[in-house]
A and B are shown apart, each in its own frame.
Chain A
Amino acid sequence: MMSDFFANLSLGFSVALSAAGLGWCFIGVALGTFVGVLPGIGALAAIALLLPLTFGLEPTYALIMLAGIYYGSNYGGGIASILLNLPGTPTSAVTCIDGYPMARNGRAGVALFTTATASFFGSAIGMIIMAIFSPMLAAAALRFSAPEYFSLMVLGLVAAAMLGSGSPFRALAMIFFGLILGLVGRDLTSGLLRFTYGVDELYEGLPLVAIALGIFGLPEIIRNAGHLQRSRIRSKDITFASMIPTRDEVKRAVPAAIRGTGLGAFFGALPGTGGLLASFMSYALEKKVSKHPERFGKGAIEGVAGPEAANNSAVQTAFIPTLTLGIPGDVIMAIMMGAMIIHGIQPGAQVLTSHPDLFWGLTASFLVGNLMLLILNIPLIGMWVRILSIPYSVLYPFIIAFICIGVYSVNGSVVDLGVLLFFGLLGCVMQYLKFEPAPLVLGLILGPMLEQNLRRGLQLYRGDYTEFLTRPISATFLLISLFIIVWSFWGAMKTRRMRRQMRAAEEQAAE
């Protein structure tokens, strides 16, 4: 067991520390930090935009680079949060609460240093947890049959969609819409084309890059063009010397980072929770255990160290279910999974046995990449600060061009640009009707596998649906899914009732 652990890791490091491994990892984290710092490009759009660049690479290096973009963008998002109070990524919104006040108190350097080191610590521990638990989970999953996989995918979809914000009806509607979109193309069993409406080029299914950029990227540009203004920051204030924390600050930050790491590692591995919830919970926990809760919101270093560690350890452990079960916990992991499928690797328990170099190389690259980020972020912080001041009006024409060329380059097909356009428009309509795009993309990626496992399961058990409910593991997954659905409808009802009562009370007070 222990010897396996070291043998696996040494295999991983031999891949991650090879010249190609190091090179692509570096390009990934540098690009990730770059887009994380830039305004108006989320991690998801960044990964989709840069995905075509990886098509020429071997799958292992492609994934190392894509993962680097993802966690690199978290570092970049932290920089934008602290210096401008503008979170580059949703998860770094928590960092704003105390990071920005720290910057205003003249402690910007320390806040940035804390972010970088706490993130590094969180992801290093997250990586170790991933290395220990993935083989166990994969071994358990090898005994899964079609009904278990079907139920697990249902759970993954339900958890990821319903635990997000917004109305449960809308989330459900978007899951099912995504499932339908996932059916577009050739049906594997009958060979018939479905939902292609005469566009035969779609027989391989809808192109993932075009969809992701259409539904997340274009509406973002449309919303921000001509509106997003940048404030000025003085890059001279952030010097290497200003980054060294005092002894008291270290004493407060270290335990916070340890607690945050624990929370993040746990929630990251669960479907539907991930980094956002983990960082919020870590913030709440730090405020609770602190002897000086009044300092929070005014520049408490614990409020930066805890959530940043939580977020980054969650980012690493989120790869556990994605790689070992083929169940993405959130939409970014879903895109990662889509990227694996494009590269010809079916995520699931067999990845560990059939592609050990990929799995362990990726795992080891997390440590390598985060070390690179530490170097990129501490001595070179001045460079990122200068990038922060690029105005959006200069930036977004580049993004439009990159989106168009990126989508076209995937298949060299104008049809893909049509898909981009269609989903851009759909994204705007959905925004207007308050539908969220994330459940749709999750449904789209899991749709084909969901249908396949349902079909296989029913075939195995002669069309008997009760098999899904009587096999203990499958039944457990379905029960948890049901519980989440009921719970989120109940929660939505409760908030509505509370709002009504508050209004009534207000009206009474007014009278």
Chain B
Amino acid sequence: MRNLNKIDVLAGLFVLVIAALSLFEASGLAMGSARSMGPGYFPFYIGLIMVVIGIALILQGRRPVEEAPEFGNLPSARSILLVLAAVTSFALMIERFGLVPATAVAVFLGTLADRESSLLQKLILTIVVPVVCVLIFKIGLSMSVDVFRWRP
């Protein structure tokens, strides 16, 4: 059984992408010399080193191995999307509608990631968490944020 080590190849490509970003950014900045380093000096050399590391990872991955290596565990797409959607909704709502609506929507989206809990539990959390947050952050820590606000 001979397999290519796909995960190392992908990881190497990932490193090369970052290296390319760094080199591209450095190309728009003055390099300077070793004696007086410009803003592009450090990113340029880091980019170069990362190219070497990326290629090394790819070469390591192209060497045949006995067993196909496992990828790191990827959580279910559902959890990823819902948790990230929760943060996104909070970011979109906090300055438009205030603390309570933003938190409530984020919490409700977040609870959907858990399939075990009942709808009732999700709804209770959607009400309780924003109340607790107002108590802690607004009343306890006097954070400067509106509890409710209407600026869509």
Show the binding face of A for B, using Cβ within 8 Å: 53, 169-170, 172-173, 176-177, 179-180, 183, 187, 189-190, 192, 194-195, 218-219, 221-223, 225-226, 393-394, 396-398, 400-405, 408-409, 412, 414, 417-418, 420-421, 424-425, 428-429, 431-435, 451, 454-455, 458-459, 462-465, 500, 503
Contact = CB atoms under 8 A, between A and B. Distances in A.
A454 B116 contact: no
A21 to B, nearest CB: 20
A222 B107 CA distance: 13
B132 to A, nearest CB: 7
Nearest to B13: A433
Contacts of B54: 173
Nearest to B60: A169
A400 B60 CA distance: 39
B125 A394 contact: yes
B39 A190 contact: yes
Contacts of A433: 7, 10-11, 14, 71-72
A139 B113 CA distance: 54
Nearest to A403: B87
A400 B83 contact: yes
B11 A170 contact: yes
Contacts of A177: 15, 18, 50
Give chain A's interface secondary structure class: helix
17 contacts: A170-B57, A180-B22, A189-B37, A223-B75, A226-B115, A394-B125, A398-B129, A402-B133, A404-B86, A405-B143, A408-B94, A428-B74, A429-B14, A431-B72, A432-B72, A459-B36, A463-B34
Nearest to B110: A400
Given A173-B54, A180-B22, A463-B34, A417 B87 contact: yes
Interface in B123-152: 125-126, 129-130, 132-133, 137, 141, 143-145
Given A179-B46, A409-B145, A421-B88, A462 B35 contact: yes
A424 B99 CA distance: 22
B140 to A, nearest CB: 10
Contacts of B141: 53
A425 B39 CA distance: 29
A428 B94 contact: no
Contacts of A458: 34-35, 37
B144 to A, nearest CB: 7
Interface string B86-118: 111011001100010011001100110111110
